[in-house]
């Protein structure tokens, strides 16, 4: 077997093919100004022909920059976090940087392992959605970083980006009231998650403003997954209830699981059960009926997080929280009870 076929091309191979010295080839590939255009073009053609790629790790060790960023998200299977990652990747690429993506699976130990890996990889900085709310050892990261997600709100002295949960919940609740659902049931996350507390705080504030007792609202906990929503919806349907049921789920994955549970119970959405989600993942559009949801700006969060991280890396941060507004996407999973029953029937 020819060993040269399995050998990584070197700068020497490029120089020999281009008919120049090693130092001239290196300067041409680095974009040096003191190389004439003809020589630069010859070196670039030689590099392409040999398949040579610069050793960015070695370049980074000399310059102090690797050109790599890290992103640690909690659930890579959730399309919302895929949108965040896409926005971050696109913005990083605009500046010539690469993005390493890790999923913590909502596990603090995995999260710590990933951060350690990023540090050893000498990334220039990292974007992290902290799983735990007791992230008190962040000063030991040893690299510039930015937080994303709900848990980041408690760190006022750290740059972070996230959805405006209060604005989003109010938007959803106001829409429900406009459709005749003044006292919906809720499917929320586990009690251990700070995101759950922030979601419910916004619900409580909305109810108090409208003279509604929050204590009368039915509520079930679940994991932020399709199966978590499915099981929570089953429990809600087992509760005594009269008339139409309306459910506000804390994310779209749970909402889609709730729709499955409604069908399995022989009921119809939205005729028997109305459901509204939270996130705005693409699959909600293809559900039947289409999922009405409060959409978070996933890609925009990723873009802004990278921009904040660049500021941290360049030592020009303006520490604080950036709140990104959410928007309503109205589809077919929510019945309009504000219309008299006879008119709803006549309308089909």
| Angle of helix 252-264 versus helix 226-238 axis, rounded to 10 | 50
Phi, psi of 68 (to 5 degrees): -120, 140
Contact 298, 84 (CB under 8 A): yes
- Average pLDDT estimate for 65-69: 85
Quick one: tokens of 345?
A: 């029937």
List, in sequence order, the alpha helices (H) in the chain: 11-18, 22-29, 37-50, 56-63, 79-94, 108-120, 165-178, 194-209, 226-238, 252-264, 283-286, 298-313, 341-346
Residue 348 is predicted with a pLDDT of: 43
Least confident of 148-152, 214-218, 227-231, 278-282: 148-152
Report d(CA 202, CA 165) in Å as an integer.
8
Tens digits of residue pLDDT in 88-119: 999 999 988 999 999 999 888 898 899 989 98
> 139 pLDDT exceeds 70?
no
**What is the DSSP secondary structure assignment for residue 9, as one 8-state letter?**
P
Task: For residue 196, name the pLDDT band (cuts at 50, 70, 90).
Answer: confident
5 or 136, higher pLDDT: 136
Task: Assess contact for 80 and 282: CB atoms under 8 A.
Answer: no
CA-to-CA separations, 195 to 27, 28, 131, 239, in angstroms, rounded? 51, 52, 10, 25
Task: Compute the mean pLDDT over every residue in the chain, rounded to the nearest whole number.
Answer: 87
Alpha-carbon gap, residue 219 to 232, rounded angstroms = 9
As a whole number, mean pLDDT of residues 1-23 equals: 75
Look at residue 61 and tell me whether its pLDDT is greater than 50. Answer: no
| pLDDT at residue 60 tops 70 | no
Q: What pLDDT score was predicted for residue 180?
A: 94
Cβ distance 127 to 98 under 8 Å?
Answer: no
């Amino acid at each position: 077997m020819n060993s040269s076929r399995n050998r990584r091309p070197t700068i020497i191979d490029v120089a020999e093919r281009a008919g120049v010295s090693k130092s001239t080839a290196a300067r041409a590939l680095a974009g040096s100004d003191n190389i004439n255009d003809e020589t630069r073009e010859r070196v670039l053609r030689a590099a392409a022909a040999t398949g040579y790629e610069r050793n960015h790790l070695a370049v980074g060790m000399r310059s102090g920059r690797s050109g790599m960023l890290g992103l640690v998200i909690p659930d890579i299977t959730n399309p919302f976090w895929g949108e965040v990652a896409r926005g971050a990747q696109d913005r990083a690429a605009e500046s010539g940087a690469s993005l390493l993506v890790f999923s913590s699976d909502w596990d603090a130990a995995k999260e710590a392992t990933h951060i350690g890996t990023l540090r050893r990889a000498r990334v220039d900085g990292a974007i992290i959605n902290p799983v735990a709310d007791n992230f008190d050892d962040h000063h030991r990261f040893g690299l510039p970083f930015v937080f994303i997600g709900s848990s980041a709100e408690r760190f006022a002295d750290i740059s972070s980006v996230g959805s405006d949960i209060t604005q989003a919940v109010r938007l959803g609740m106001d829409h429900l009231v406009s459709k005749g659902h003044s006292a919906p049931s809720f499917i929320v996350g586990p009690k251990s998650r700070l995101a759950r507390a922030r979601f419910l705080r916004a619900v409580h504030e909305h109810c108090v403003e409208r003279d509604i007792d929050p204590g009368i609202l039915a509520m079930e906990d679940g994991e932020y997954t399709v199966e978590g929503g499915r099981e929570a919806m089953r429990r809600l349907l087992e509760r005594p209830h009269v008339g139409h049921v309306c459910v506000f789920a804390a994310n779209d994955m749970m909402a889609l699981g709730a729709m499955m549970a409604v069908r399995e119970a022989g009921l119809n959405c939205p005729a028997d059960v109305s459901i509204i989600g939270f996130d705005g993942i693409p699959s909600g559009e293809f559900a039947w009926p289409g999922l009405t949801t409060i959409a978070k700006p996933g890609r925009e969060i990723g873009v802004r997080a990278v921009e904040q991280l660049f500021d941290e890396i360049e030592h020009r941060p303006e520490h604080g929280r950036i709140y990104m507004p959410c928007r309503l996407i109205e589809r077919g999973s929510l019945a309009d009870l504000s219309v008299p029953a006879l008119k709803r029937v006549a309308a089909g």
